[in-house]
A and B are shown apart, each in its own frame.
Chain A
């Protein structure tokens, strides 16, 4: 009897917490929508920055964000998945392996500005990439790498041992087992982890400011070595202006950023469901 009322109480508490979280998100969305929705238009999406708020657009920042995130993914996903496969499937349980493991977990918690400083020193200066898309994407790739490695390892670990054993028992090598059996089963989990990591990267501002993403760019990026800016930086820039019209622009740009994020997450869910279907 007591167990049951406790159970009910806990259920109610959980529901309350969920509602609070959703309410906070809802309030934010409503507020943004009221401020920014009126400003959303084709001209706003395809326009370039301007001193006059009613002429300003976000095409440069939107394309910047998309290009940077695509390059980040192209760098971080193969390296991260490869590192995870090595650690999980090939690495031994030695002291060095454990040290590496602890370090990766710690790296995932390092503030992003630190990665920005590293990116400035390593990519912009030492490797002479300059204030380019490549330098920014490389920095973001470093930032999300630990998260991708950790989530990929989780996904690999979740593959039932019986599948590996079945493969080994047929005379498959380690690599054949990983490539043909383990990776296909782990793909949905790997994709989910990678997309969540990239979702984090797309909202980052601090490390990109440090590596020199510009706050005023009047053109869309036209290559890996092109200077660039991204949506969060444009938003940051507009919010810090005194004119209230720029605040409206910022709200509208946040809506666009949110839409981009939701699209990315939706793509993740679609990809995950699709790869699960081919398995069943």
Chain B
């Protein structure tokens, strides 16, 4: 199987502080890969190197390579804007734009010249909202403010927004950490549905969530990749003592 994403000797610096140390990992296509580890271990930083989101933070530096479909995304002449369309992202805190529900989903299409005619745009927006399992709840108020939605709905709106531009990869940075158990369950069901069409990488603090939704799990520790493998193996028979202590809740 050819990996969708391949990081090779990746190190990352905030100024002089090294946040990631020589990470090498292969992420398979059309499966869910979970990043776990204690706060500050680098899992979110690593996630954000995959769509070069860290570029907008001043004073950061990347060493090593990240390949998507075997092409280096940090290579010379790479169009970061085009990269981010291919690699969608959902953030920890839902961040709908202060616009209508419709405009939130349509925004990505408009800025990428994918909007087409009015009925085409409306069709794409509907399809994305359906994919994110939000359509039935919002179809009668598409032109009301997105900020009036509940937290769980806002997060699903952000997922719909990310899906609208037809990415290949979906990065999710603790997408359910601010949600109640019911809303969390809906997001997890959604992740399960979406992996049919997308490669999904999800950062989570919640061990059970990683065990439930992911196929592969990467355990980060102090900026290093401590262990990586199939989720069932990481949770039942890890190779490292550190991993076992973490997943069994002995610390962290």
Contacts and interface: CB of A to CB of B under 8 A. Distances in A.
Most chain A beta-carbon neighbours within 10 Å: one of B86, B95, B108, B162: B95
B56 A168 contact: yes
A153 to B, nearest CB: 16
A185 interface: yes
B107 interface: yes
A7 B112 CA distance: 55
> In terms of DSSP, what is the predominant structure of the interface of chain A?
helix
Contacts of B88: 169-170
Contacts of A163: 95, 97-98
A100 to B, nearest CB: 17
A164 B98 contact: no
Size category, B interface: 20 to 34
Interface string A154-176: 00000010111111111111001
Interface in B69-101: 81-86, 88-89, 91, 93, 95-99
B145 A167 contact: no
A170 B108 contact: yes
Given A162-B91, A184-B98, A93 B111 contact: no
Given A165-B91, A184-B98, A170 B53 contact: no
B111 A165 contact: no
Interface string B173-212: 0000000000000000000000000000000000000000
A93 B58 CA distance: 8
A93 B60 CA distance: 13
A171 B98 contact: no
B156 interface: no
B165 A185 contact: no
A166 B173 CA distance: 12
Contacts of B85: 170-171
Contacts of A226: none
Interface in B215-251: none
B106 to A, nearest CB: 11
A141 B53 CA distance: 39
A280 B91 CA distance: 21
Contact of A279 (B51, B89, B93, B98): B98
Contacts of A171: 81-86, 108, 111-112, 165
A185 B98 contact: yes
B132 interface: no
Contact of A169 (B59, B96, B162): B162
B97 A181 contact: yes
Given A279-B98, A280-B98, A170 B56 contact: no
Interface in B87-135: 88-89, 91, 93, 95-99, 107-108, 111-112
Contacts of B112: 170-172
Interface centre among B81, B83, B93, B96 (most CB of A within 10 A): B81
Interface string A182-205: 001100000000000000000000
B161 interface: yes
A169 B111 CA distance: 12
Contacts of B83: 171
B125 to A, nearest CB: 14
A180 B98 CA distance: 11
A168 B53 contact: yes
B97 A166 contact: yes
Nearest to A93: B58
Contact of A172 (B53, B81, B89, B145): B81
B97 A169 contact: no
B98 A170 contact: no
B10 interface: no
A165 B97 contact: no
Nearest to A173: B81
A173 to B, nearest CB: 5
A165 B98 contact: no
Given A164-B56, A180-B111, A280-B147, A169 B89 contact: yes
9 contacts: A165-B95, A170-B161, A170-B165, A171-B111, A171-B112, A171-B165, A172-B81, A172-B108, A279-B98
Nearest first, the 9 A-B pairs at minimum CB distance are A171-B85, A170-B108, A162-B95, A169-B89, A279-B98, A172-B111, A166-B95, A171-B84, A176-B111
